[in-house]
Chain A
Amino acid sequence: MSRLGNNADWADDEEFDDPSALPAQQVITNKDGTKTVISYRFNDENKKVKVTRRIKTTVVREHVNPQVAERRSWAKFGLEKGNPAGPSFDTTSVGENIVFRPSTNWKVQAKEAEKEGEKGSVKDQLKDKKVKCRICSGEHFTARCPFKDTMAPVEESTSGAGAEMDEDKAGGLGAGSSSYVPPHLRKGGAAGGEKMGGRFEKDDLATLRVTNVSELAEEQELRDLFERFGRVTRVFLARDRETQRAKGFAFISYADRGDAANACAKLDGFGYRHLILRVEFAKRST
């Protein structure tokens, strides 16, 4: 077995020479100009620890008093005698960042910061949720909607709560959503279930919602306007109960969905009594 003879005895392997010896410090220069310094030391429990430090060197030029410059070259003494340049781990460390902004009303600010810290958990929970308006689907609360007065979300669930978070309606009862979802709308409303034969049930697909209607509008006027595009089966103009004035929105049902689509395309943005109509397909009412 000449093969064995070529190899050095395993006992001579230099790794076993001195288990207490530390490998030499390695310095690698990276492409981006930083240096990686790998050094080894023993920690408090006498275990070998590998310390990898990535160092970026920035040269800061500073003009100092010559005495100060002379002091920079001083050698260490006392307990630090013989230690290499640079702060040592056991005496110097860097604390956590402190935000210090002087202000005359710092007490109020500190209190607010404290309160926010308490609220933090709830805030984190809602971090990924987006606010969605029920009227115009914009990113604001329904109560703050600029179309609040002109467009009423009647076909939607009127829970009364002004603010509602956008949530998937797929979940049934509970399932993390706070608002109640009626049985026939659960599972995306696809579930069959028996339906009550509502009077306008079959018209749902051909019903337009018209918003930004003038207060002075009349049902007949709207009928004349929308009749141009096909046979209108129903015109509903919402009125205020007391003043009998129009509330600003109306529903127009067509016999044919094609006519409805045509009317929607043509009359959306149509000027009517100084206001610009907004016409869209009505959503399924609940």
Chain B
Amino acid sequence: MRPILLSGHERSLNQIRFNKDGDLLFSVSKDKNVCAWWTANGERLGTYAGHQGAIWTVDVSPNTVILATGSADNTVRLWNIKTGECVKVWDFPTAVKRVAFSPDGSKLLAVTEKRMGFLGTIAVLDIAYGDGQGNNLDSQADEPSLRITCTESKATVAGWSFLGKYIIAGHEDGSVSQYDPKTGDQLENVQAHEFDHQINDIQFSADRTHFITASKDKSAKLMSARELAILKTYTADTPLNSASITAKKDYVILGGGQAAMDVTTTSARQGKFEARFYHKIFEDEIGRVRGHFGPLNTIDVHPAGTAYASGGEDGYVRIHHFDKGYFDFMYEVEREQLRK
């Protein structure tokens, strides 16, 4: 496969997201621009300008009408994807580290940083889609409909489970918790990763019944959304920044690498700047894809499972469209199952 290199950012990537149809890819980095790309050929559709600080997070509504971004300038912004206009700005007391749309697109959660005496929170915002034609997108509620305060350990990442029934959050201390998005109560809290090893990413399967976490403790865990049971564990030899579940084939992709501050002291070979592919069921590592010159900060998989993209500390986004060998690989037991 020939990767498509996207060099629209001047600084390291923070998050990339495919939209639900997989034809667009959105990327945010520590420079102040959001970029939208066509995944088929890597053409840039446009940029969304307006943020005053590093952008930590991006998410796209399920109908690809509204884009949400959270930034170190303490704001969450909504953008009209088609025109590039900013339609809404919410101010928060601290930086916003993660935004995520609910499966139906009616709600947006925003994870805020714990800083300057403010505790980390998860805010839930109601999203309106105007007249459905992309007009009047700017009529949004001014205040969050719910605020969950993380008193014990701040949340670093969060997402919505199946049908928006739970909010699942990963914490700085390595625990994963489950919240009720109606009341804001914490329903469960599981120490999934080693204590005090931050969870850097959380991504859901297509049906959102299970999710994968990536942590600084060099492992990724597949967990069920309903009872937070650890289903599978994937161990790597480097701190992980991102993990993603592939559709179509039962793989997971992990990305990481040593911390950016240590990168210059080691060679690229030792840096482990590779995307690691594991088999989702058997937990075996089945291959690596190299290419980045720095740690992989973020990985996302095309919703159809035909491609994946990775964003690195080196400022590049690489889109890889899988070729035949990827789809053909099967374990012997899988082949036997197929014969029956």
- Asked if B44 and A102 sit within 8 Å, CB to CB, the answer is no
- Asked if A98 and B291 sit within 8 Å, CB to CB, the answer is yes
Binary interface encoding of chain B residues 3-21 relative to chain A, with 1 for a CB under 8 A from any of its CBs, else 0: 1111110000000000001
**Assuming A76-B46, A102-B286, is B4 touching A95 (CB within 8 A)?**
yes
Nearest-CB distance from B108 to chain A (Å)? 20
- Residue of B24, B45, B63, B326 contacting most chain A CB atoms (<10 Å): B45
Q: Is B23 an interface residue (CB 8 A)?
A: yes
Q: Which residues of the other chain, A, contact B318 by a CB distance below 8 angstroms?
A: 95
Report B292-340 residues with CB < 8 Å from chain A CB: 318, 320, 322-323, 325-326, 329, 331
- Asked if B325 and A100 sit within 8 Å, CB to CB, the answer is yes
Nearest-CB distance from A163 to chain B (Å)? 35
Distance A268 CA – B215 CA, assembled complex (angstroms) = 78
Q: Which residues of the other chain, A, contact B5 by a CB distance below 8 angstroms?
A: 92-95
**Assuming A91-B6, A98-B1, is B46 touching A103 (CB within 8 A)?**
no
The SS class assigned to the A binding surface is loop
- How many A-B pairs have beta carbons closer than 8 Å: the answer is 118
Q: Is B47 an interface residue (CB 8 A)?
A: yes
Q: In which size bucket is the chain A interface?
A: 35 or more
Q: Is B187 an interface residue (CB 8 A)?
A: no
Q: Which residues of the other chain, B, contact A107 by a CB distance below 8 angstroms?
A: 285
Binary interface encoding of chain B residues 54-73 relative to chain A, with 1 for a CB under 8 A from any of its CBs, else 0: 00000000011000000000
- In the assembled complex, 29 residue pairs joining A and B whose CB atoms fall closer than 8 Å, in A order, are A64-B21, A71-B24, A74-B82, A77-B83, A78-B47, A79-B44, A79-B46, A79-B49, A80-B44, A91-B8, A91-B44, A92-B7, A94-B2, A94-B42, A97-B2, A98-B1, A98-B3, A98-B290, A98-B291, A100-B287, A100-B323, A100-B326, A101-B325, A101-B329, A102-B329, A103-B286, A103-B329, A106-B286, A106-B287
Binding site for B on A (CB under 8 A): 64-65, 67-68, 71-72, 74, 76-81, 85-88, 90-104, 106-107, 110
Q: What 7 pairs between A and B have smallest CB-CB spacing?
A: A78-B47, A77-B84, A77-B46, A102-B329, A78-B46, A92-B42, A102-B286
